Amino acid sequence: MAMDTPFDEFLKEWSDNIDKVRTGAGLLSKIRDADVDVGTTPKTLIERRDKVELFRYDPIAERSVDTPVLIVYGLIGRYTMADLQPDRSLVRSLLAKGIDLWLIDWGQPGRGERWLTIDDYVDDYIDEAVERICAETGHEKITLLGICEGGVFTTCYAALHPRRVKNLVLTITPIDFHADVDDPALHRGFLNVWIRSLEASDIDLMVDALGVIPGEFMSSVFSLMTPMRSIAKYNVDLIDTVDDRDKLMNFLRMEKWLADRPDHPGSAGRQWLHDLYQENKLIKGEFALSGRKVDLGAVKMPILNVFALDDHIVPPNCSKALGQKAGSKDYTEIPLPGGHVGLFVSSRSQGGLTKNIADWLTARDG
Amino acid sequence: MTTGAENATEKTSRAFEEMAEFWKSMVQTSGDAGKAWADSIMPLLSSRMAEANPLGATQGGGIAEAIRQLVEGPKLADVWDIDRQLISLSAAWFEMRQRMASYQVIAAAPWAKTFERYNAALAAEVTDGEKRKAGWRKDFADWSAIANEEMTKNQRSEEFLAAQRDLLRAALTLRAQQQQFADTVAKSLGYPTLKDFDELTRQLAELRRELRRRVRADRDRYTNGDLA
């Protein structure tokens, strides 16, 4: 029996790929944007303040952790990353563990929010949400669950308003913005390197000219951080996805989340880039909100700090730095495999993140 | 005495050997070509691209100097400022184009290095006598890994950082000039400008902040008393 030559194999695979693309084109033609649903876990609007909305997720299991948990996402991207689809949803799996889950949705800030500062987000919007949750549930303290920039906001809130925070859970949160310098991995920490290469006046110029840090601009920056993945994602990488409806829907949901990147309010962006990324004021104890310095030593409540070992956006060292500065005697660090986004949306990481958070919360409830 | 089958086998073997030699020499040649391109054409291309705009072409010349003086010189009371704004806008656009060209040249450098390294890797495989049974997926993965490594290194280099910063600065300056011009036109037609909008939202943000500070202070006074 004659052996296939490499050329024969190439032709066969080429033919298979043509079939896949044809099947994929057929699938794509039947999918409408409205079919690509993200953030679908049922929730109830409790309060609206300007563009900011406070939601309470509808329970799906018997309550096992009494203390309410407020999810605070950052202003770069949207909370839907934590609720991408039913089988890849931190939100849904925490609800399934019997946790009373709340969410702040920052909405879609635009030029009208140019003057909003991190002070406003921490001392007004988060504070108002926490007060409302306490009023609704009868608790004096709640748990804050911060994601990325939202983790910085919740850390600041915990330092400035400790009487309202029972536990602080952080995921992929930068605390020391210069800790990337010691990271030998070249693919990590581009954001830190690039922002440090700018002058403070460049950031002023951006905020003054645009009023915001545009979402599209941030998207292009993130694409540049993984150059070959960005180049291959709509062609080579798609070949193995395009003819499988489930895989294709996963891909399209991720694309929808990526495309839904709001503008970052200008003044808050100036603080984020200049005070934190350039000047590294948080870890130095020099970052001030509403006239008060954020003292990490004042964060004395239990802290769970989860970070992704291959996070190219927030290098692990930037997150781990909190352990040295926080005042808490109950500090837990959990490194998990995966990247910045993969920690929340990859099939591999599902379950691990939720279990760690739920177990940790259960042990500290009551 | 040889059989026909043995003759055919020898001929096939010879043909494969010749093909291997041909492949090896092709890889070597293309590798050399890649290196030659990177070494000789890139600097030329770089300088040509940097010159490929009216301001670049006249750098150090009379026209560029005249434009600079018009843009940066003192304002005159009785000269209509819109001319000056238009010239500033043009200058900013040319500057942005030039910075874009410089950035693209630096951002493209890893492709030549990738080509060179990938060809060298292929040549090494042939030289070592290793039987290549790759397929396009492995070939693409190998090439992609090299390209990613080269781009990652490049994107941390001082010259990339400088080019990126200069491009961002030029693009934002252009945007600011466009906005200023649009505001001038809007103002002349009696429409509110973006500056007006920003001023209004600033006042609103400060007013809201002040009001909420007072509400919060009242709430905290009550809560603290209540909790105590």
Q: What is the pLDDT of residues B124-141, one digit of tens each?
A: 877 665 556 667 788 889
- Are B62 and B128 found together in one domain? yes
Contact A209 B155 (CB under 8 A): no
Distance of alpha carbon B205 from its chain centroid, rounded? 36
B151 touches chain A (CB under 8 A): yes
- Are B22 and B123 found together in one domain? yes
DSSP state of A244: -
Residue A364: per-residue pLDDT? 95
- Are B216 and B227 found together in one domain? yes
The burial of A141, by beta-carbon neighbours within 10 Å (0-12 exposed, 13-18 middle, 19 or more buried), is given as middle
Residue that has been written with the tokens 């991207």 in this structure: A77
Residues 100-129 of B with CB under 8 A from A: none
> Does residue B44 carry a pLDDT above 90?
no
Contact B205 A232 (CB under 8 A): no
The architecture CATH gives domain A35-363? 3-Layer(aba) Sandwich (3.40)
Distance from CA of A188 to the nearest CA of B (A): 9
| Chain A residues contacting B via beta carbons under 8 Å | 6, 9-10, 13, 50, 111-116, 120, 124, 127, 131, 140, 186-187, 190, 193-194, 197-199, 202, 205-206, 208-211, 224, 227-229, 232, 236
> Does residue B7 carry a pLDDT above 60?
yes
Residue A22: per-residue pLDDT? 86
Residue B58's pLDDT band (cuts 50, 70, 90)? very low
DSSP state of A172: S
- Are B116 and B209 found together in one domain? no
What total of structural domains would you count in chain B? 2
Of the residues B130, B137, B148, B193, the best mutation for testing chain A's interface (the one with the most A CB atoms within 10 Å of its CB) is B148
- Are B57 and B95 found together in one domain? yes
Question: Could you tell me if A145 and A154 are in contact, meaning their C-beta atoms sit under 8 angstroms apart?
Answer: yes
B169 touches chain A (CB under 8 A): yes
Helix spans in A55-100 (H): 90-96
Query: Among candidates A344, A266, A307, which has minimal Cα distance to A109?
Result: A266
State which residues form the domain around B24. 4-191
Query: Among candidates A101, A127, A159, A175, which has minimal Cα distance to A357?
Result: A101
- Are B196 and B173 found together in one domain? no
Q: Which tokens sit at A127?
A: 């504070």
Question: Could you tell me if A10 and B136 are in contact, meaning their C-beta atoms sit under 8 angstroms apart?
Answer: yes
Mean pLDDT of B145-167: 96
Catalytically active residues of A are 148
- Are B183 and B97 found together in one domain? yes
B198 touches chain A (CB under 8 A): yes
B129-137, long-range: CB < 8 A, 24+ apart: B132/A6, B133/A6, B134/A6, B135/A6, B135/A9, B135/A10, B135/A13, B136/A10, B136/A13
* Nearest residue in A to B175, CA atom: A209
* Nearest residue in A to B219, CA atom: A131
B156 touches chain A (CB under 8 A): yes
- Are B221 and B178 found together in one domain? no
Option in B152, B164, B202 nearest A186 (CB): B152
Mean pLDDT of B166-173: 96
Contacts of B202 in chain A (CB under 8 A): 114-115
* Residues in Cβ contact with B94 at an 8 Å cutoff, skipping those fewer than 6 apart: B53, B54, B55, B56
- Are B112 and B223 found together in one domain? no
| Cα angle for residues A13, B146, A186 (degrees, 5° grid) | 130
Residue B60: per-residue pLDDT? 45
Contact B151 A227 (CB under 8 A): yes
Residue numbers in chain A where pLDDT is lower than 70 = 1-4
pLDDT tens figures, B102-111: 999 999 999 9
* Nearest residue in B to A199, CA atom: B165
One DSSP character per residue, chain B reads ---HHHHHHHHHHHHHHHHHHHHHHHHHHHHHHHHHIIIIIHHHHHHHHHH-SHHHHTTTSHHHHHHHHHHHSPP-TTS-HHHHHHHHHHHHHHHHHHHHHHHHHHHHHHHHHHHHHHHHHHHHHHHTTPPP---HHHHHHHHHHHHHHHHHHHTTSHHHHHHHHHHHHHHHHHHHHHHHHHHHHHHHTTPPPHHHHHHHHHHHHHHHHHHHHHHHHHHHHHHHHHH-
Query: Among candidates B171, B172, B44, which has minimal Cα distance to B98?
Result: B171
Query: Among candidates A244, A262, A259, which has minimal Cα distance to A52?
Result: A262
Contact A197 B133 (CB under 8 A): no
- Are B161 and B224 found together in one domain? no
Q: Name the residue type at position A49.
A: R
Residue B54's pLDDT band (cuts 50, 70, 90)? very low
Mean pLDDT, chain B, integer: 79
Distance from CA of A289 to the nearest CA of B (A): 13
Q: Which residue has the higher pLDDT, B73 or A365?
A: A365
Helix spans in A51-173 (H): 90-96, 118-120, 127-137, 149-160
- Are B134 and B202 found together in one domain? no
Residue B25's pLDDT band (cuts 50, 70, 90)? low
Q: Which tokens sit at B77?
A: 């009371």
Of the residues B142, B154, B155, the best mutation for testing chain A's interface (the one with the most A CB atoms within 10 Å of its CB) is B155
- Are B113 and B34 found together in one domain? yes
Percent of chain B residues topping a pLDDT of 90? 46
Task: Domain ranges for chain A, please list them.
Answer: 35-363
